[in-house]
Amino acid sequence: MIKPAAPPAPADPASAAIPAPPAAPAPALPKVLEQIDWASKHYLIVDDFAGIRQLLRESLRSLGARNIDQASSGGEAMNLLNKVRYDVVLCDYNLGEGKNGQQVLEEARIRQLLLPSSVFVMVSAEKSVESVMGAAEHQPDAYLVKPITEGVLLSRLNRVWRRKQIFRLIDQAFVEKDYLRAAQLCDEQIATNRVHVIELLRMKARMLERSGQPARARMVYEQVLAQREYHWARAGLGKIRLADGDFEQARQMFQTVIAENRHYIDAYDQLAHAYQGLGRHEEAAAILERAAKLSPNSVPRQRNLGQAALKLGNVALAEKAFRKCLVIGEYSIRKTPDAYLGLARVCGLKNNTKDALQLLLLAQRDFGSEHDDMALRAKITEGLIYHESGDYRNARRAGDELDTMLGADPKRPGTAICIEMATLLFAVGVKETPGEVLAHVVRNNHDNNLLQDDIQAIFDKARLTEEGAAIIRAARKEAVDLMNQGVVLWKTGKLPEAVKWMRMASERLPDNVRVLFNAVQITISHMQQCGYDEALEAEARTLLEHVDRLQPGQQRFAQLMEQLRGLQPKPEPEPPAVVAEGEAETPAPEPVEPSEPAATPARNNRFS
């Protein structure tokens, strides 16, 4: 047991006795009850059983609540959530046909229909696997197991509310992706709030990981484990090992967690990664299959299982996973085109080209509007299916169509899709375009040698070893030159030109993490010297958010976010301070190769 140093408001044992009835006011209700104004809040009750809706409504009325809406299905709940910003949502997990409670929660969170202060309580008939911490990505604020009684409901609501207050600023910093501030706010709360100290440490470790400081995150996990064996802390250590490429150590840690708690689903997903890192793909798929059995209603998990099985050539397992993914995706905001494309591949492998093409059409119809690379991906899959089934004439036709599409639109999809596309195009006999696509990939990953080796291998396979090597060299040089020119402009004090140059560079290399970081760094430099500029700040934030999607958990991301926050004008704005050049401790963009001798010794205090 932990004995907190600062006790919460103590109750005198003698005075806590419950007086005998009939003179019995509500006993032992917490003091905060008086402080939280439950009466004025807006409530939504979601349950398919009318009796429970009525019971909950009565319970809320006895708290004084006046604004209580009800829904008997997930769809109805979504309609109401669309219109009203509720303070409290009480939602049953099992809602019969249609969306379940978890899907209501996920959609409401992803579409931002809940206020940060909203309380979402999931009600279920029995303790579910999903309720064990770490199972679901989107957690409700509280779980309640039926039967629900008024007293317990109130007690939990009060607790969630207090917790929300403690985490309010931390959550806000997290949503704003200001991970360093979030971690610092955790520290402040830890100092004064002994009751939530473990939960705060968990949050702090997460923030340290997100801000690219695994060593510090590890210390937090170890500090927690010294007190008690928390599965999430052990799994956290495993994840850090995983990120370091220490797959064997990571594997052992995740297995320890699973042996201790079979329902800690996150550990399964991570263990699968460890196995993949070790090259043990059969075992990775087997672990994903076990996780999918324990918690079958997760779209991403079924998708990962399907893709792992497809890679192994286990068509039956892949088909099962992708089909399940389609079924659970029907009512889920997390439904994904990957399941359609994957199932189309499965159909192709089973020589059922007709169904495969039908699925590709469906994918474009259902996802075309929100995924702008959908048509490309469908065409790639079509080519793959024909190619795998030995129909080389149709495969070549799909390849030519893809070639035309690429010619019409200069925008290129992400790295993985580009590589898939180039491989296919070479395989079906298209010669020019795949080289151009691969050059795009190299430009955007000019410092990733492993990836460049893979790309060289693709050229080798297409019998284009020499040409490929030249393309890779040229692409890498272009990226390096673009970056260096920006740094030179910055160092010579030509800040507006540097900003302009880096804007051009990040349009040319839209997925190059280092270029984007430098673009942001130079923009910040410019604002530090010439004053805050709303448009520039927005531009920098857009770039950073893109980087965080490409490669989450970068330390430079967290640092640049913190610098951006520091630039925001105070309530009463002062005229921008004019700083003499050379005096300011200005962070410098990261130079690429060891270029010309530095004009300013700025590297040392880059992130002061």
Partner 1 sequence: MEDSPHSPELFLFLAVTAHDMKNSISVLSGTLERLLDGATPETEKAYAQMGQMLYQTRRLNDNLMQLLALYKQVGKPGYPFDAQPLEVGQVVEQVVALARVLLEARGVQLELYVDPDLIAHVDEDLIVGVVSHAVNNALHYTRDRIRLAAREVDGELEIRVEDNGAGFPPALLAAGTPDGSDMGVNFVTNSAGLGLYFSSEVARMHHHRGRHGAVRLENGGLLGGGCFILTLP
* Residues lying near partner 1 in the complex (CB under 8 A): 1-4, 7-11, 13, 16-22, 24, 26-30, 49, 51-52, 54-55, 58-59, 62, 94, 125-129, 131-133, 145-152, 154-156, 159, 194-195, 198-199, 228-229, 261-263, 290, 293-294
Residues in the chain: 608
Query: Cβ of residue 13: shortest distance to partner 1, in angstroms?
Result: 5
Instruction: Match 């770490």 to its residue by tokens.
Output: 134
Which tokens hold the place of 477? 């040089």
Query: Cβ of residue 533: shortest distance to partner 1, in angstroms?
Result: 46
Side-chain-side CA neighbours of 499 within 13 Å: the count stands at: 16
Q: Which is nearer to partner 1, 236 or 589 (CB)?
A: 236
Query: Cβ of residue 427: shortest distance to partner 1, in angstroms?
Result: 40
Query: Cβ of residue 92: shortest distance to partner 1, in angstroms?
Result: 9
Which tokens hold the place of 31? 């003091």
Q: How far apart are CA 198 and CA 376, in angstroms?
A: 47
DSSP, collapsed to helix, strand or coil, labels residue 15 as helix
Which tokens hold the place of 352? 């059922």
Nearest to 415 by CA among 446, 445, 458, 377: 445
Q: Which is nearer to partner 1, 198 or 315 (CB)?
A: 198
Q: How far apart are CA 168 and CA 175, in angstroms?
A: 11
Which tokens hold the place of 153? 């409901």
Q: Which is nearer to partner 1, 58 or 596 (CB)?
A: 58
In the DSSP assignment, the letter for residue 492 is T
Query: Cβ of residue 77: shortest distance to partner 1, in angstroms?
Result: 18
Q: Which is nearer to partner 1, 29 or 405 (CB)?
A: 29
Q: How far apart are CA 133 and CA 130, in angstroms?
A: 7
Q: Which is nearer to partner 1, 11 or 470 (CB)?
A: 11
Distances (CA, A) of 230 to 22, 127, 225, 235: 46, 19, 6, 9
Query: Cβ of residue 172: shortest distance to partner 1, in angstroms?
Result: 24
Q: Which is nearer to partner 1, 16 or 191 (CB)?
A: 16
Nearest to 382 by CA among 331, 345, 414: 345
Q: How far apart are CA 92 and CA 141, in angstroms?
A: 14
In the DSSP assignment, the letter for residue 228 is -
Query: Cβ of residue 41: shortest distance to partner 1, in angstroms?
Result: 20
Q: Which is nearer to partner 1, 14 or 535 (CB)?
A: 14
Query: Cβ of residue 6: shortest distance to partner 1, in angstroms?
Result: 9
DSSP, collapsed to helix, strand or coil, labels residue 68 as strand
In the DSSP assignment, the letter for residue 134 is T
How many C-beta neighbours within 10 Å does residue 363 have?
24
Residue 31: Cβ-neighbour burial (10 angstroms; 0-12, 13-18, 19+): exposed
Query: Cβ of residue 199: shortest distance to partner 1, in angstroms?
Result: 8
Which tokens hold the place of 51? 């009796």
Query: Cβ of residue 162: shortest distance to partner 1, in angstroms?
Result: 10
Q: Which is nearer to partner 1, 226 or 577 (CB)?
A: 226
Q: Which is nearer to partner 1, 145 or 598 (CB)?
A: 145
Q: Which is nearer to partner 1, 128 or 336 (CB)?
A: 128
